[in-house]
Amino acid sequence: MSSCCGTPEPKPSCSENEASAAASSSCCGPAPSQGGSCSTAKGRPDWMLWGSLFLCALLYVQGLFLEQLTPAYAWYQHLATGVFELMNTMWWGLLLGLLMVAVLVKVPREFVMSILGTRSGFVGILRATAAGVLLDLCNHGILMVGAKLYERGASAGQLMAFLIASPWNSLSLTFILVALIGLPWTLAFIVLSAIVAIIVGVIFDHCVAKGVLPANPNQEDLPEDFKFFPEAKKQLSAIKITPTWIKEILVGSVVESRMVLRWIFFGVLLASAIRAFVSPEHFGTYFGPSLIGLGLTIIAATIIEVCSEGSTPIAADLLTRAGAPGNSFAFLMTGVSTDYTEIMVIKDTTKSWKMALYLPLFTVPQVIAVAWVLNNVG
């Protein structure tokens, strides 16, 4: 950085790119987007993205044109049909999500950070939850931003509410969920996950107030002269819709979504493989709306280290094929709360094992209770 940004700083590592972008001051202008560059080293192909995309395209074409294969290859036909059906269901949500990502990239991240603020208490938790829903990042990308927010002074409760509300509540995944499971269930999942995030955030702040958990040593106030709505109006008035601007939106929708797309395509392959090798009867028996099915779902969500975009098609199958809306909700939520990457990043950020381990301790029981109710009333 130069001029008003001060002296040059060392180049951040890949894991710090998102966080450092969030911390850039307004005098420097919007931070350059890092997109999905952290997924792979610069100049190296993203084998997961291109491999998953190639297999999805190949299986989709075969599911479209090939006739029934011989019984010996019935599993392959089920695999191709699964990819074909999933992509036909979610294509419009995927396109809307790509467009939304490109638009959000144009919004300076400082605006989202200002919504979060550093205000403690219930209002601060609500703001953190709202900020988590607004940011369009997967649960691994959101960790970088969450860590920086904590360094900038967010409370422990705000950090937890932000992380719990973020991973699959992003706008792009919301469109995909609507396509896969319908609007009513999507809205129900969003509201319920936000409620869990708020409750966990309040509990964490209460534990900090009582001295059970350490307080954030980096607490600070936002600049008093920052006015969100006047600044937003100023930024909107500066937008000029030109062919170049439209081209940037279209190109940016793909470039900035690489990290999301790689996991979506991988999730489609994984969900289709489950359809191919696990019959509907066995799927409904093992992962159906029972306590055993709920327990197996939570175990699977804990073991499988898949980004939120990859878990979305599987969660949709739990609702549509297994008839277990509670298990679908639990698969999305416990994957967030028990993810070992998330736990380790929280430990490193807060310098506290207790802070990291209290996340699943406070979150998982609530998720199980909500999932049990959904299975019985859904």
The model's pLDDT over 64-78, given as tens digits with 9 standing for 90+, comes to 877 666 555 778 888
pLDDT band at 213 (very low <50, low <70, confident <90, very high): very high
- Give domain status of residue 137, yes or no: yes
pLDDT band at 168 (very low <50, low <70, confident <90, very high): low
- Give domain status of residue 225, yes or no: no
- Give domain status of residue 131, yes or no: yes
What is the per-residue burial (b if ≥16 Cβ within 10 Å, else e) of 187-215?
A: ebbbebbbebbbbbbbbbbebbeeeebee
Residues 6+ apart with CB under 8 A from 107: 235
Quick one: average pLDDT of 180-196? Answer: 90
> What is the domain extent for residue 103?
82-215+233-377
More confident residue, 197 or 69: 197
* Average pLDDT in the chain: 75
- Give domain status of residue 178, yes or no: yes
- Give domain status of residue 111, yes or no: yes
- Give domain status of residue 223, yes or no: no
- Give domain status of residue 95, yes or no: yes
pTM for the whole thing? 0.64
pLDDT of residue 107: 65
Quick one: average pLDDT of 273-299? Answer: 82
Distance between CA atoms of residues 115 and 113, nearest Å:
5
237 has pLDDT over 70: yes
pLDDT of residue 20: 42
pLDDT of residue 14: 43
pLDDT of residue 177: 84
User: What's the number of domains the chain is made of?
Assistant: 1
Distance between CA atoms of residues 78 and 66, nearest Å:
12
Write out the DSSP string of 105-145.
HTS-HHHHHHHH-S--SHHHHHHHHHHHHHS---HHHHHHH
**DSSP-derived 3-state class of residue 154:** coil
- Give domain status of residue 58, yes or no: no
